Amino acid sequence: MPDPLGDFDPTTTYDEAVLEYESASGDFWRHLSDHTVELLALQRGERVLDLPCGTGHVALGAAERVGPDGRVVALDVSERMTQLVSHKAAQLQLTNVDVGVADMTRLGRPDPPFDAVACVLGIFFAPDMPAALRSLAAQARPGGRIAVAVFGEEFFEPMRTTFVDAVRAVAPDLQVVEPWARVRTEQQLRELFDAADLTADVETCVDEVPLTSADDWWRIVMGSGLRATVGHLDPATAAGVRDRCAEEVERHGLTALRVTSRYGVAAAA
Ligand X SMILES: C[S@@+](CC[C@H](N)C(=O)[O-])C[C@H]1O[C@@H](n2cnc3c(N)ncnc32)[C@H](O)[C@@H]1O
Binding site for ligand X (CB under 6 A): 10, 14, 25, 32-33, 52-54, 57, 76-78, 81, 103-105, 120-122, 125
Q: Identify which of residues 29 and 248 has a Cβ nearer to ligand X in the complex.
A: 29
Distance CA 245, CA 157 (A): 12
Q: Identify which of residues 170 and 230 has a Cβ nearer to ligand X in the complex.
A: 230
Minimum distance of ligand X from residue 183's CB (angstroms): 13
Minimum distance of ligand X from residue 45's CB (angstroms): 23
C-alpha dihedral sign at 39, 179, 190, 156: positive
Minimum distance of ligand X from residue 196's CB (angstroms): 16
R_g (Cα) of the chain, nearest Å: 18
Minimum distance of ligand X from residue 126's CB (angstroms): 6
Q: Identify which of residues 18 and 245 has a Cβ nearer to ligand X in the complex.
A: 18
Distance CA 21, CA 53 (A): 12
Q: Identify which of residues 136 and 248 has a Cβ nearer to ligand X in the complex.
A: 136
- Residue of closest CB approach to ligand X: 54
Distance CA 120, CA 22 (A): 15
Q: Identify which of residues 54 and 70 has a Cβ nearer to ligand X in the complex.
A: 54
Backbone angles phi, psi at 57, to 5 degrees: -60, -45
Minimum distance of ligand X from residue 74's CB (angstroms): 9
235-243 long-range Cβ contacts below 8 angstroms, 24+ apart:
237/170, 237/171, 240/166, 240/170, 241/163, 241/166, 241/167, 241/170, 242/218
